[in-house]
Every structure is written in C-alpha cells, then in structure tokens.
C-alpha cells in the first residue's frame, strides 16, 4: 500500500533505528465562526484587559476537537503513534479553521506498543526515547487575552514617563505563566511527569492575542513521583546532549518586562536619530528591560534549587506608543550524574537539518511569523503626534527667531 507521510528521509532513518516504520499522514480539523469569537471578545473583559475566558475556552475547544479527530483517524488505522503533531490556525473569510496534522508510525516491538502522540519530529523522537523519556501525548496550554482599553489608557499616560510600565508587564507575565500552568495541568491528566520540547507562540487572533504553548507530555522513570511536572523549552536534541552530560531539565522559566522611553526621551531620541552615533536613551532603556527580565529568571531558578539555566533565548518587541517588551525564556536544569543515554552518540541523521524544496516569497512577505509576538505597526498615533510637535517647534523657532 502506498504511504503518504510528512516524514523526511532523515526522520524515517532515525525512527527505524528505534523499531518504527512510517504510516500515512493524518489530519483533524474544525471550523468556527469568527463572528461568534468576536462577540465573545467584546464587553467588560475586553475593556478591563487580561484573559478573555470565553474566547480561551472556544479556541481550546476548537483545537481539542481537531486533535481528537486526528487521533480517531490514527486509531482506525491501528497506529502505534503520531509524530510531528501540530495545532494550527487557518483564517478563511468570516471563519477560522483549527487544524491538527501528524504522521502515523507503527512498531512490532512489545516495549514500544503503548499508543502515543507527540509534537516531536522523527529525529527529536529518537533523541527523546534514547534519553529514556517515554512520550505519552501531545499537550498544549493556551490563553486568549487583551491589554484592555482601561489598562491601555492608564499605561498610555505612564508612557510619558521613562521606565517600566507595570500594568503591561503584569499582563504579559500573567498570560505567559497561565499558559504554562495549563500545559502542566493537561500533562497531569495523562499521568505524565514531564512536558518536553515546549514551543511558545503568540498569535494575533481576531480582536485579541492568543498565548499558546505546545509540547509532549512524557514520563521518565528516573524522576521522583511527586506532584511537580518537569517543563522544558529545550529541543529533544539539546536534552539528549545534556542527559549525556548528566543534566536533567527542571522547569521552563519566563521573564518579561515592558518599558517606556518616556515622552521627552522619545523626542530626544527622535531628534538624535538624524545624527550618526549612539542614542544613549534607547541603549539604557533596552539594557534596563533586559536586566529586569533576566533577574526574574535568576530569582526563580534560585528559588527552585536549579544548578543552571540553559538555552536562554531573548526577544525584544516594539509594542508601539514608545513601548518595548523584553522577553527571556530558558530551562532550569539539575545535575544528575546517574543519567545515561542508550546510545553513546546520536546518528548524523538525527542532527541533519531537513531542507525545504518549495519557497513562496510572496507569502513570506505578508505572512505572520508565529514564533514572534504580534508587532503593532510602527507608524502609531503617538509617533505621529510627536512628529507634529517637533515640526511645529521648528516652524515657530524659524518664524520668531530667524525673521
């Protein structure tokens, strides 16, 4: 029978090394009306800001329905597992489609017969199994949120002053940690003690944003059987390398801060942008935001007794109105000398990057990068007003002092 799969040659090689063979690609979907979602997003919650619980539940339901339909298709084919599971959104006119896609795999190995689903690619699944983590199921946690008109107004007033805007920092911190807690709760329902390979996405969704975390709920026999669930943003390849060095992940750590340059700082920065050289106001602002976000991670790592924090990635986003968000994500780790991998080294196919053979440059210029926060347009009202003020000052200066 002809097999149609998303698995690459490198993935199939790695899976074969663990006794798996490739099966068909499977798809599950569910279409919802955007009108319903927009109506749920309106009202007091949108005004006050924070989570839009009804929108969160609706998106969660759409993703869950699509995922279950994909799993049902896998069960009908008696598959052992589904690998490379994704949970995506496709916006159609007036509607949104929730889409889950993965590829089936099969095995006759009695030690691998437990059914599972995973967000890991075939190469990452090899590394996960070889590091003695058993995948259980694809897991996600999400939260739909709005900054809110009230908080936007209050925060807008505070943008006149340089420094951190706590109202915005609190919203971003809360939503990110809420999504993390929900993926942990999802994992607990399936008796797992770890969520591995977590990917964090910020998606613009109708009148709100969605914070989404996706990973694989897993089980490791060498971990203590407490209520704590290990979370990791490391790739499974990175995790294998650390396991070979005797390190185990403990917790995904998040730190975020939102800073304002301030009205006068923005004006000074704007004027200096016409002259070559450093702009000290922006340098100090971004440095302060970075240090604040990293301090949050350091404090949490210390509180849980971590030895180190690996894989730290940092992102800077322009939020508009003179606001800059700095986000840091890393994984706290603990030294466990007794850890061992099944193999002494990974095969070259496990670390070979698969190349795309189709490029759509037109779409690349207009598509949303789901691996980054939604960026508000740079040409915002505040910037326009500041430009008008500067031009007015220059005109009056010329009229009254040079004529």
pLDDT of residue 357: 75
Residue carrying the six token digits 């030690």: 111
Residue 69 near residue 104 (C-beta atoms within 8 A): no
**Is 343 a member of any domain?**
no
Work out the angle at residue 282's Cα, subtended by the Cα atoms of residues 281 and 283, and round it to the nearest 5 degrees: 90
pLDDT per position in the chain (403 positions), as tens?
Answer: 789 999 999 999 999 999 999 999 999 999 998 776 666 655 544 555 678 888 889 899 999 999 999 999 999 999 999 999 999 999 888 899 999 999 999 998 877 778 999 999 999 999 999 999 999 999 999 998 876 544 454 445 444 455 677 777 887 888 889 999 999 999 999 999 999 999 998 887 766 788 899 999 999 877 765 668 999 999 999 999 999 999 999 999 999 888 876 644 554 545 455 556 666 767 777 788 888 889 999 999 999 999 999 999 988 877 666 677 788 999 999 999 888 899 999 999 999 988 877 776 655 444 443 333 334 333 444 444 444 454 455 445 545 555 5
**Is 356 a member of any domain?**
no
Q: What are phi and psi of 243, to 5 degrees?
A: -60, -40
Q: In the chain, count of helices (H) and strands (E)?
A: 13, 13
Q: Which two tokens stand for residue 399?
A: 């009229």
**Is 349 a member of any domain?**
no
Cα–Cα distance, 298 to 318 (Å, whole number): 24
**Is 1 a member of any domain?**
no
What are the beta bridge partners of residue 379? none
Q: Is 197 left (phi over 0), alpha (psi -120 to 50) or beta?
A: left
Residue 163 near residue 258 (C-beta atoms within 8 A): no
**Is 300 a member of any domain?**
yes
pLDDT of residue 271: 47
**Is 352 a member of any domain?**
no
Q: What are phi and psi of 55, to 5 degrees?
A: -70, -40
pLDDT of residue 273: 52
Residue 308 near residue 254 (C-beta atoms within 8 A): no
Residue 79 near residue 106 (C-beta atoms within 8 A): yes
**Is 241 a member of any domain?**
yes
Tell me which DSSP letter residue 110 carries: G
Cα–Cα distance, 157 to 142 (Å, whole number): 30
Task: Report how many domains make up the chain.
Answer: 1
Domain limits for position 212: 9-338+362-401
Residue 290 near residue 314 (C-beta atoms within 8 A): yes
What are the beta bridge partners of residue 102? 26
Segment (H or E) for 40: helix 34-41
**Is 41 a member of any domain?**
yes
**CA 215 vs CA 121, 177, 304, 320, 348: distances in Å:** 11, 15, 22, 31, 24
């Amino acid at each position: 029978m002809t097999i149609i799969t998303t698995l690459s040659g490198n993935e199939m090689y790695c899976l074969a090394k663990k006794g798996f063979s490739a099966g068909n690609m499977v798809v599950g979907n569910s279409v919802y009306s955007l009108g319903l979602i927009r109506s749920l997003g309106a009202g007091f919650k949108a005004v006050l800001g924070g989570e839009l619980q009804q929108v969160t539940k609706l998106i969660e339901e759409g993703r869950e329905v699509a995922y279950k339909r994909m799993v049902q298709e896998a069960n009908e084919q008696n598959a052992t597992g589904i690998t490379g599971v994704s949970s995506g959104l496709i916006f159609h006119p007036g509607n949104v489609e929730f889409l889950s896609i993965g590829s089936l795999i099969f095995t006759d190995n009695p030690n691998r017969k437990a059914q599972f689903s995973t967000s890991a690619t075939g190469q990452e699944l090899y590394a996960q199994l070889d590091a003695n983590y058993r995948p259980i199921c694809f897991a996600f946690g999400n939260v739909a949120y709005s900054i809110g008109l009230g908080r936007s107004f209050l925060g807008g007033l505070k943008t006149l002053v340089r420094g951190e805007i706590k109202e915005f920092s609190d919203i971003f911190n809360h939503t990110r940690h809420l999504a993390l807690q929900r993926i942990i709760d999802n994992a607990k329902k399936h008796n797992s003690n770890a969520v591995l390979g977590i990917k964090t996405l910020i998606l613009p969704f109708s009148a709100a944003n969605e914070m989404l975390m996706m990973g694989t709920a897993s089980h490791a026999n060498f971990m203590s059987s407490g209520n704590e669930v290990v979370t990791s943003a490391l790739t499974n390849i990175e995790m294998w390398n650390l396991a070979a060095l005797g390190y185990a992940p403990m917790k995904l750590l998040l730190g975020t801060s939102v800073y304002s340059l301030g009205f006068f700082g923005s004006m000074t920065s704007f004027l200096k942008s016409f002259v070559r050289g450093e702009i000290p106001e922006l340098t100090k602002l971004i440095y302060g935001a970075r240090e604040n976000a990293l301090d949050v991670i350091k404090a949490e790592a210390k509180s849980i007794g971590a030895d180190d924090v690996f894989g730290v990635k940092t992102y800077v986003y322009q939020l508009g109105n003179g606001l800059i968000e700095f986000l840091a994500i890393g994984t706290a780790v603990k030294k466990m000398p007794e850890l061992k991998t099944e193999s002494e080294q990974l095969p070259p196919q496990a670390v070979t990057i698969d190349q795309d053979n189709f490029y759509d440059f037109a779409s690349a210029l207009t598509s949303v990068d789901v691996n980054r926060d939604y960026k508000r347009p740079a040409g915002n009202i505040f910037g326009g007003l500041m430009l008008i003020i500067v031009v007015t000052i220059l005109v009056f200066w010329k009229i009254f002092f040079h004529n």
